Amino acid sequence: MTSRNVLAGLGLAAMIAATVVGVLVATRSSSDSARRPVRIGTALSPRTPLFGDTVTARLEFAGDTRRVVPGSVRVDARFGSYRTVAKPLLVRKIAGDAEYVVWTASLRCLARSCLAGRAEKRLTFPPARVTYAVRGSGTAPQVARSLSVAWPALLVYSRIDPIEIKASDPRDEPPWRADLASLLNVSYRTPPSPTAAVAYGLGGMLILGAFVLAAPLRRRDEDAPVLTVELEPSPVPQTPFQRALALLERSSAGADEVGARRRALELVAVELLRRNESTLRRSAQRLAWSQQAPSEADARALARSARDATRDGSDDAAH
């Protein structure tokens, strides 16, 4: 009997202790919820982008609907040199006594201020401001609240490898590193098809109005004498490739002409590359990038060779 009484006393004491602990935990959790009715987090992806990459900014808001008015959450964020490439997306969801809000924005910077240089560049965005409404006690009106939330820092890296650039030949193609898959699809402020239909309709109305206004003038001028003018045939327009060859074949001097001659040689080299004339293309690039000014004799000789090499294919593709 004595041992049973002892065990019963210990069990009763354990039950009382568990009840007290549960009351304390419930009181503490309710007080914490009353003090902090919202939770906010921010994230950037990727944290280490290359120059020109698209960065996704994400802000998550969780609020207690017993304190926070549902649908009252607003996000105001600025990202310095980075610009939003699409309208930010705001998604709301309510589950029980909690409202979850997720705000996302796609960012990109192509400005000089975002260049990393020789080492990585650390960028910090201004804090985002989140506003929401809190229920008043009893018949009291709602109260607007706002919080400033910091963003993580970005480490931007360059797309150019200095070691690879130093070891490369300047006459070869530059070793740029690009990721075209990260570019977003083309978007329009207004749908193209309805906009085109409206533009065509307005254009037709303007043409019809012009005919209506010109009809009286046409009847008035029916008896006027007809003046015949013979126009000289207009010259056939030259392509950029033909103009570049003509510039290389003419006599010229001066610093401005030397610069124009170098640009003409570079254009001729591009056209020769397109026509698979590798030997002439290298000669044109060597003249264009030579330390000394390209001489008139060398320029004329290369122009004659280029004309002979491209005569059978004509100059129809250099635009």
Helix (H, G, I), strand (E, B) or coil at 101: strand
pLDDT for 3 equals 54
Question: What pLDDT, on the 0 to 100 scale, is given for residue 220?
Answer: 65
45 and 122 belong to one structural domain: yes
Residue 68 covered by a domain: yes
228-265: pLDDT as tens digits: 666 666 555 578 888 888 877 876 656 667 778 778 88
Evaluate whether residue 170 is within a structural domain.
no
Among candidate residues 267, 264, 258, 256, the one with its CA nearest the CA of residue 291: 258
Low-confidence ranges of the chain (pLDDT < 50): 1, 19-34, 315-319
Both 112 and 201 in a single domain?
Answer: no
Task: Let me know if residue 143 belongs to a domain.
Answer: yes
Query: Is residue 78 a part of any domain in this protein?
Result: yes
Residue 27 in any domain: the answer is no
Cβ partners under 8 Å of residue 306, min gap 6: 245, 268, 271, 272, 277, 280, 284
**Cα-atom radius of gyration of the chain, to the nearest Å?**
37
Q: What pLDDT, on the 0 to 100 scale, is given for residue 31? A: 43
Residue 149 and residue 79 share a domain: yes
Range of the domain at 212: 188-218
Is 139 found in the same domain as 103? yes
Instruction: Identify whether 21 is part of a domain.
Output: no
**Same structural domain, 61 and 128:** yes
- Residue 203 and residue 244 in one domain: no
Cα dihedral across residues 222, 226, 227, 228: positive or negative: positive
Partnered with residue 136 across adjacent β-strands are none
Note whether 88 and 200 are same-domain residues: no
What's the Cα-to-Cα distance from 309 to each of 43, 108, 238, 314, rounded to whole Å? 59, 45, 18, 10
Give the model's pLDDT for residue 55. Answer: 93
Residue-wise pLDDT tens digits, 26-63: 444 444 444 568 899 999 999 999 888 899 999 999 99
Query: CATH number for the domain including 119?
Result: 2.60.40
249, 302 contact by CB (below 8 A):
no
Tell me, yes or no, whether 14 lies in a domain.
Answer: no
Same domain, 197 and 277: no
Confirm whether 19 is domain-assigned: no
Specify whether 251 is located in the same domain as 141.
no
Nearest Cα neighbor of 151 from 70, 52, 55, 35 is 55
Number of domains into which the chain is organized: 3
153 and 70 in one domain?
yes
| Residue 153 and residue 55 in one domain | yes
Contact 77, 59 (CB under 8 A): yes
- pLDDT computed for residue 34 by the predictor: 46
250 and 285 inside one domain: yes
Closest among 189, 188, 184 to 55, alpha carbons compared: 184
Question: Which of 106, 136, 158 is the last residue in one of the domains?
Answer: 158
* Both structure tokens of 233: 């045939």
Stated pTM of the model: 0.44
